[in-house]
Amino acid sequence: MEVCAARAPGKIILAGEHAVVHGSAAVAAAIDLYTRCSLCLMPLADDEAAATLELDLKDPGLAFSWPCGRLREVLLTDEAAGAREARPCSPDRLASIARLLEEHEIPEAKIWLSAGLSAFLFLYTSILGCRPGKVTVSSDLPMGSGLGSSAAFCVSMSGVLLTAAGVVTAVGGISGEGMGWELVGKDDLELVNRWAFQGEKIIHGKPSGIDNAVSTFGSMIKFKKGELTNLKSSNPVKMLITDTRVGRNTKALVAGVSERASRHSDAMASVFNAVNSISEEVSSIVELAANDEIAITSKEEKLAELMEMNQGLLQCMGVSHSSIETVLRTTLKFNLVSKLTGAGGGGCVLTLIPTMLSNLVLEKVIAELESHSFRCFKVEVGGQGLQVCQGGCSYFNGDVV
Ligand SMILES: Nc1ncnc2c1ncn2[C@@H]1O[C@H](COP(=O)(O)OP(=O)(O)O)[C@@H](O)[C@H]1O
Ligand SMILES: C[C@@](O)(CCOP(=O)(O)O)CC(=O)O
Ligand SMILES: [Mg+2]
């Protein structure tokens, strides 16, 4: 029995969501909330008929199992066609995967999981073929809330599968972490990112690629048309995240913005252009601050103003929501600026926390937000991306410990 694991972080988008799908720049950063995937690869069984692929999703509390023979029969594939090159999922293959999912009873209330399950079956069978194994997934991230759970799912899944395939290797431990998590080299990260993007396409329809990129590479990045720039920041910005707990689906919101863009192409092109300028300004402020060329309070004032402008433009795109407006009004009472993060339509909101804000006031803000049944997270911004645990990781009851 061969065990390996991977973990990948969620993200916040400081500026540029949605517009980034249409070619504008955006700025995003990894956060210290992770999705973990472990894989226990079973030896090729003597009893062929008994061989299964199992998936245990801890967060929705659902487990799935497919006989390997059935996978081979429906997907018309056995061996993986080569993990070293990421391939898109063809419409025929997606239709075959949908047939495999129909054979499972997914509760109606959790039907939104189908997209994640399709991405899983595509990534597993493309990278490892129809080999028997057990994959377990657990996450700190709320699902469908704008913190990039879909990308963290695809990155950690691609990471663990490519590690098991022997294509990705760990390069060394992380100091101060006793869990056996190791970093991955740049070329291997590039490959994981390309596979994860193919998974995100199944979940999002038309992703920009920013979420999988920041989850893979970590840190704070500027992203434009697939090009990634690492932003060096000596004083990471402090953000409070509020989850409105209003569920929504990124694929539908992205499609809604595209439809508005096709109805009002000139007006929306100007909106996307304005967002591009905001993201460019946000990224240069972050970098100037890293070189100490700007006082911290001036940096925070500028960022706050740009966040406020970006929120206004997201309203123009039609992706705000009454719950988001409640967070904006609540934090404004404390002179704090907020904007939605991710696809909007509910989900999470970012509030910039100035360095000078006392803990007492911050606790009051949180208490007032939580009185609306929202949930607040204090997160570290700009940390590591994908990490893997290759052999030597302890495996207990489906969890890597
Ligand atoms: N831990 C997980 N277990 C199972 N599916 C997941 C997990 N994390 C994400 N997903 C998949 O990703 C979808 C949410 O993606 P999305 O709508 O893009 O929201 P976000 O990426 O902001 O969380 C879920 O509906 C599910 O299909
Ligand atoms: C709206 C978008 O810019 C970000 C979506 O992020 P999330 O899935 O809501 O975490 C879409 C994308 O860039 O692919
Ligand atoms: Mg997503």
211 labelled catalytic: yes
- pLDDT tens for 325-358 read 999 999 999 999 999 999 999 999 999 999 999 9
ipTM over 0.90: yes
- From the CA of 250, how far away is ligand 3's center (Å)? 6
DSSP state of 334: T
What mean pLDDT value characterizes the chain?
Answer: 92
What's the topology of domain 232-378?
Answer: Alpha-Beta Plaits (3.30.70)
pLDDT at 82: 82
pLDDT at 390: 84
| Mutation probe of ligand 2 site: the residue of 211, 251, 348 with most atoms within 8 A of C-beta | 211
pLDDT at 237: 85
User: Where does the pLDDT of residue 176 fall: very low under 50, low under 70, confident under 90, or very high at 90 and above?
Assistant: low
The residue annotated as part of the active site, out of 56, 188, 211, 243, is 211
207 in contact with ligand 1, CB cutoff 6 A: no
What is the distance between the alpha carbons of residues 69 and 235, in angstroms, rounded to a whole number? 54
- pLDDT tens for 107-163 read 888 888 999 999 999 999 999 999 999 999 999 999 999 999 999 999 999 999 999
- pLDDT tens for 190-247 read 999 999 999 999 999 999 999 999 999 999 999 999 999 999 877 778 999 999 999 9
Asked whether the predicted pLDDT for residue 81 surpasses 80, the reply is no
* 2-221+383-400 has CATH 3.40.220.10 classification: no
Ligand nearest to the CA of 156: 1
Hey, whose CA ends up nearest to atom 12 of ligand 1?
150
User: Where does the pLDDT of residue 287 fall: very low under 50, low under 70, confident under 90, or very high at 90 and above?
Assistant: confident
* Domain-wise residue ranges, the chain: 2-221+383-400, 232-378
Q: Which two tokens stand for residue 134?
A: 């057990």
Ligand nearest to the CA of 154: 1
243 in contact with ligand 2, CB cutoff 6 A: no
- pLDDT tens for 26-67 read 999 999 999 999 999 988 766 777 899 999 999 999 999 999
The two domains 2-221+383-400 and 232-378 share their CATH topology (first three levels equal): no
0.90 exceeded by pTM: yes
- From the CA of 201, how far away is ligand 3's center (Å)? 10
Across 119-244, the runs of DSSP E, i.e. the strands, are: 133-139, 170-173, 182-184, 220-224, 227-231, 239-243
Q: Is there a contact between 217 and 231 (Cβ–Cβ < 8 Å)?
A: no
In sequence order, the 6+-apart residues with CB closer than 8 A to the CB of 89 are: 97, 118, 122, 126, 198, 201, 202
37 in contact with ligand 1, CB cutoff 6 A: no
- The structure tokens 């934090």 sit at 331
- 200 CA closest ligand 2 atom index: 14
What is the distance between the alpha carbons of residues 200 and 104, in angstroms, rounded to a whole number? 22
